[in-house]
Structure 1
Amino acid sequence: MISIICTGIFGKFLSTAVYAWAIHLKGPVYATMFKPLSIVIAVVMGIVFLGDALHIGSLIGATVISIGFYAVMWGKAAEENEDGFGSQESATIDSVPLLQSYKPVKL
C-alpha cells in the first residue's frame, strides 16, 4: 500500500514538474499537445513491455492523435515564422517596458 501511494505521489509530482518546465520553455500550446500523445506512448509501452493486444481502435486513435499533434506543431511553427519570432526585433522588445512596445494591429 505504501508503494502504491509513494508511486502516485512521486508520479504526479514528476509529471507536474515536467509540464511546468515545458510551459516555462515553450508555452502552454506545446505542453497541452503532449497530453494526448502520452496516451499513445502508454499504449505502445503496454504492447512492448506487457504484451497487450493491439486493437484496430488503438491504431486509429493513435493515428488521429499523432496527425492532430503534428498539425498543431506545424501550425505553431508557421505562426512563429509569420510573427517574426527569433528576429532582432524581438530581442529589443524584452528590454522595453510593456506599454512602450505596443504596436497597433493593422487591418
Structure 2
Amino acid sequence: MIPSIVFIMALIFRQENLTFWNIIGQAKIWGLLLSAAGALAVVLWKGPVVLTSMLVNIKGTSDSVLGSVMIIVGLLASSFWNILVGHVLQFYPAELSLTAMMNLFGTIQTAIISAFVISWSSWKLKWEGGLVLVTILLGGVVVTGLSYYVMMWAIKKKGVVFEAAFNPVLVVFLFLLQTFLLGNSIHLGSIVGGVFVILGLYLFLWAKANDMEKERTVADDSAYSPLSSTMKVEGKSSTILPTRKRVQQ
C-alpha cells in the first residue's frame, strides 16, 4: 500500500504531477492500483495449492489485532518518510551523510526504547552457529545502511513516487524466499498477485518514462527558444562592438 499512499501525499504536497484524463495519468493510477492489489492478493488470498514444497514449513504465532495496528503505523511512517526525504534532499543533497545521521539517531531512539521494553536477558546473543551474527551484519550493513542510501539516491534522481513504486516487488521476493527457504507451499493467490505487481510496476514506469521525456522536451524547447537565441545574439553583439571601435581607432 505504500506506493498508493506516497502518491496521494506527493500530489497533496505538489511533489508529483497528475493529468487525470491523460493516458499517462491513467497509467500511473492503474499501475499503482494493480501493484497494491497484487501485493494484497499475495498476503490475503491464498487460493488452491499449485505446488507443495518438500521443505519443512516453519510457522510462528500471530496476534492479528496488534499486527494490524503496527502495520498501519508502519505504512504511514514509511510514506511520510518518503515525502520528507524528498523535500530534505532539495536543500541537503548529501545522501551519504544524511543516511549516517538517520541511522545514528535511529540507533539512539531504539536503544532508549529497548532499555525500557526489552528485558536484560534478551540482550545476550545466542550465536546459533554464527547465524545471529550474519543476521546482525546483514541487517545493519545492507538492509539499513546501504538500502537507505540507495533509496535516498533514487528519490533524489527520480522522485519519491518512483522509489516507492518498487515496494510491492518486495512481496514477490518474500514469496519466493518463503517458498524455497522456509518451505511454504505455492498458492494460486501468490502467482496471480505476483503477476499483478509486475504489470502494475511496468505501467507506472512506462508513465514515468513518458513524463520525464516530456519534461526533457520542454526544457530543450525553452533553452533553444527564439527569445533566448535573440538574447544570446544581442549579448554577443554588445561584446563585439567595442572591440571593433578600438580596431578602427
Alignment TM-score, normalising by the size of structure 1: 0.64
Aligned to 2:196: 64
Aligned to 1:98: none
Alignment TM-score, normalising by the size of structure 2: 0.31
Aligned to 1:35: 167
Aligned to 2:245: none
Q: What amino acid sits opposite 1:66 in the alignment? A: I
Question: Relative to structure 1, is the Cα distance of residues 90 and 33 closer, same or farther in structure 2, using a 3 angstrom cutoff?
Answer: farther
Aligned to 2:207: 75
5 Å matches for 1:89-104? 89=220, 92=223
Aligned to 1:45: 177
Distance in 1, Cα, partners of 2:157 & 2:205? 15
Distance in 2, Cα, partners of 1:56 & 1:71? 23
Question: Relative to structure 1, is the Cα distance of residues 87 and 15 closer, same or farther in structure 2, using a 3 angstrom cutoff?
Answer: same
Aligned to 1:85: 216
**Alignment of 1:19 onto 2:151:** yes
Shift of 1:90: 7.5
Aligned residues: 91
Aligned to 1:105: none
Structure 1 range deviating more: 61-70 or 1-10: 1-10
**Unpaired runs of at least 5, structure 1:** 93-107
Shift of 1:30: 1.9
